[in-house]
Structure 1
Amino acid sequence: MENVNGTSHILDELNTQDLLHGNVQILHHFMSSLKSQALRCACGLGIPAALHRLGGSATLAGLLDETGLHPSKLPYLRRLMRALTVSGIFATAKHKQQSPAATEGNSSDSETVYTLTPASRLLVGDGPSSTMSALLNPRPETGFAMFFKLEEWFRDDGGAGTLFKMAHGVTSPWDLAKVDADYNRGLNKACVADTSFVMDIILRGRGGDVFRGLTSLVDVGGGYGSAAVAIARAFPDVKCTVMDLQQVISEAPDDGVVQFVAGDMFEFVPPAQATFFKNVLDCWNHEDCVKILQQCKKAIPTRDAGGKVIIINVVVGHGPDNIAVKETQVFYDMYMMSISGIEREEHEWRKIFLEAGFSDYRITPILGYQSIIEVFP
């Protein structure tokens, strides 16, 4: 049978299983945007926190009561939890006794007990995870809804600027933060939460070895100083300085643990044995990264004297060999594309390091989808 677009010959070349697999794969990708919305909904309803308060597990009826939802929502809650369980956010076990309050749902599902997983435990309360901050951002349109304009942006001749600008009228999140106080607070909260989480992981494991033996360090673009404070407390002998723009430094909480310095990293980096970047260089293009690292090279001593640059960022292709890590890296890169940023493969990092005058580097992929990069003069 001829297809209206004349494509029947393409379908004829595929066997039944290929057709079915291809159809499922396309539909799966198309529907995957519902994963993030379901997860955001569950966090907004407080379901992970409710499970935690109930001892880590609960039936649908228990969740309904704990979250204060109307009983009429029980069958829909079952469907939400089922979707997030299949996606690995929650897990299930069977309850021996059926709860009378759950009779509105499916009889077998009413006996299901939902439990927290390592992933959903990160969504409980005020723990140090940026995931909660991102999911509960009251302005989700500033994050991912702009990607509904992705095709339009690709067809643009370049005059619209970044995808972020096409959607919001300003080039980057930092520009929006200057004029939108609510967005600024949400952005800073997410950055602090993510930094606290990542630094806790680094400093509790062998990643902390990259700071061992240092006497001084400058956290370049360090924001409110969360990373530098964590390093200083873990290694009291390391004098830590945070450098960022004046409008950032002026709002940073100063508890005396680290020193704050206002400045432009394109023009000057304070002298130290090491410079540190966490999720900074992926915001800049190749040429800008070279300029920034050239300033760092001027600021640090030779390798024999312990000089180095420490970078926390994605190295595409490095990390655990599983689909979640691989997809997170490349989708994070697409997100950074919206502000003209980029997540780089190793050969792209290497080219930057060599052009900036450095001689060697070492990648330690121990941070899930991110890595620790040490760059030596």
Structure 2
Amino acid sequence: MASTNNQLEATELFEGQSLLYMHMFGFLKSMALKWAIQLNIPDIIYNHGKPITLSDLVSTLQVPISKQSLVERLMRFLAHNGIFVIHEKGENDDDDDQAYALTPASKLLSKSCCKDHCLTPMVLMSTDPILMGKFHQLGDWICGEIPTLYEAALGSTVWEFLEGKPEYLSLFNQAMASDSQMVNLALKNCSKVFEGIDSIVDVGGGTGTTARIICEAFPKLKCVVYDLPQVVANLSSACDNLSYVGGDMFKSIPQADAIMLKWILHDWTDEICIKILKTCKESVSSNGKKGKVIIMDIIINEEDDEKDMTETKLCLDLIMMGINGKERTGKEWKHLFVEAGFKDYKIFPLFGFRSLIEAYP
């Protein structure tokens, strides 16, 4: 019996070791993904017109023969993690080795395949050495008095950092725009959200990617992109129903039938979110008309979501933790709406790891 217990203990320890090593080397997933983008592999495979063999891929990349096996090992790693798929050669195949094809994930990294939904800018921003490096300060930051991880690692808030470095601000705007393009895929499932309203303000709408998509889908809907003056300066639109207004959402928000907050509230603490929602409530309640606030954000739901979906949401929560923001559970969202004075709300899980929420004053 003792040996059985010892053997069980050893098995558990080895399982624990495996889990720890998986976490220790988890950063290699993002590094391998960045490698594939830097070498333009998703577009190479797509433009090839069929699964590409290792020899053809190496030839296109002009990789030295001595490093051909490195490409194979990286592609094997990415395929194991769902970025590519490996087609093994069959008995009737003329090709002399296995071939690589795109998956839904790698299609989103191909400008040729998914021009309107390419997430390459988001990957490049997320894997930037400086932006990744700040997480080395997690321990000191959490045990210290500095408010945000950005301030602990870089000496400034995230917004000050972006404002002071135009190249990072451009990368950030490109990343947010690429993410906004995914909204187009969900519009067909939530057209009723925009029915019955004549005007909408996209608060923190950046360069207007989401607003343009909405305006094209609903040409009778007047849409205003509302962001900081320096963000919307010199922006114009070819759409008659789209305009840009500079301002501060903490002071006032233009009046409209609906206010949209896409990926905004997760940037802030509960106290600040309640303040923003109260300002939104005033905007849609003017002149005695009761409008609504449309929120596109994450709802953590560990009980109902699949493990991978929950892990994605929890990873994003840690990202937001670095700027004192957070991803919220359904209970936490309810708390915000109640404290901000909203009478009711509805949740529509339509956006992959995000949901759409309608809040009514």
**TM-score, length-scaled by structure 1:** 0.87
Q: How far off is 1:22 after superposition?
A: 1.7
Aligned runs of 1:140-179 on 2, under 5 Å? 140-156=128-144, 158=145, 160-172=146-158, 174-179=159-164
Match of 2:199 in 1: 216
202, 215, 225: which is aligned to 1:242?
Answer: 225
Q: Secondary structure at the match of 1:309?
A: strand
The amino acid across from 1:65 in the alignment is S
Contact 2:278 / 2:340 at 8 angstroms: preserved in 1? yes
Contact 1:269 / 1:295 at 8 angstroms: preserved in 2? yes
Inter-CA distance 336–195: structure 2 relative to 1 (3 Å threshold): same
Match of 1:41 in 2: 35
Q: How far off is 1:372 after superposition?
A: 0.4
The amino acid across from 2:282 in the alignment is K
CA distance in 2, matches of 1:150, 1:14: 35
117-126 or 134-143: which moved more?
A: 134-143
Match of 2:259 in 1: 275
The amino acid across from 2:143 in the alignment is R
5+ residue gaps, structure 1, are 1-10, 100-109
5+ residue gaps, structure 2, are none
CA distance in 1, matches of 2:39, 2:305: 33
Q: Secondary structure at the match of 2:342?
A: coil
Inter-CA distance 137–351: structure 2 relative to 1 (3 Å threshold): closer
279-288 or 313-322: which moved more?
A: 313-322
Contact 1:319 / 1:368 at 8 angstroms: preserved in 2? no
Are 1:357 and 2:307 an aligned pair?
no
Match of 1:376 in 2: 360
Are 1:188 and 2:188 an aligned pair?
no
Match of 2:248 in 1: 264
Inter-CA distance 340–128: structure 2 relative to 1 (3 Å threshold): farther
The amino acid across from 1:282 in the alignment is H
Q: How far off is 1:68 after superposition?
A: 2.4
61, 67, 73: which is aligned to 1:67?
Answer: 61
Q: How far off is 1:57 after superposition?
A: 1.1
Q: How far off is 1:155 after superposition?
A: 2.7
CA distance in 2, matches of 1:232, 1:309: 17
Contact 2:111 / 2:118 at 8 angstroms: preserved in 1? no
Are 1:19 and 2:13 an aligned pair?
yes
The amino acid across from 1:32 in the alignment is G
13-22 or 366-375: which moved more?
A: 13-22
The Cα RMSD (Å) is 2.2
Contact 2:30 / 2:127 at 8 angstroms: preserved in 1? no
Inter-CA distance 56–333: structure 2 relative to 1 (3 Å threshold): farther
Match of 1:7 in 2: none
Aligned residues: 351
Contact 1:317 / 1:345 at 8 angstroms: preserved in 2? yes
The amino acid across from 1:52 in the alignment is Y
Inter-CA distance 142–32: structure 2 relative to 1 (3 Å threshold): same
Contact 1:128 / 1:194 at 8 angstroms: preserved in 2? no
The amino acid across from 1:169 in the alignment is G
Contact 1:220 / 1:277 at 8 angstroms: preserved in 2? yes
Match of 2:328 in 1: 344
Are 1:123 and 2:123 an aligned pair?
no
Are 1:80 and 2:74 an aligned pair?
yes
Q: How far off is 1:154 after superposition?
A: 2.1
Are 1:50 and 2:44 an aligned pair?
yes
Q: Deviation per CA, 1:176-199: give whole Å up to 9, x if none.
A: 2211111111111111111122x2
CA distance in 2, matches of 1:201, 1:131: 14
Q: Deviation per CA, 1:167-219: give whole Å up to 9, x if none.
A: 222111x212211111111111111111122x21121x312321122211111
CA distance in 1, matches of 2:154, 2:56: 41
91, 113, 127: which is aligned to 2:85?
Answer: 91
Inter-CA distance 130–265: structure 2 relative to 1 (3 Å threshold): farther
Percent identical: 35
The amino acid across from 2:172 in the alignment is L
Q: Deviation per CA, 1:141-170: give whole Å up to 9, x if none.
A: 2332211221222232x1x33111222221
The amino acid across from 1:140 in the alignment is D
Match of 1:102 in 2: none
Are 1:254 and 2:237 an aligned pair?
yes
CA distance in 1, matches of 2:55, 2:303: 40
Match of 2:100 in 1: 114
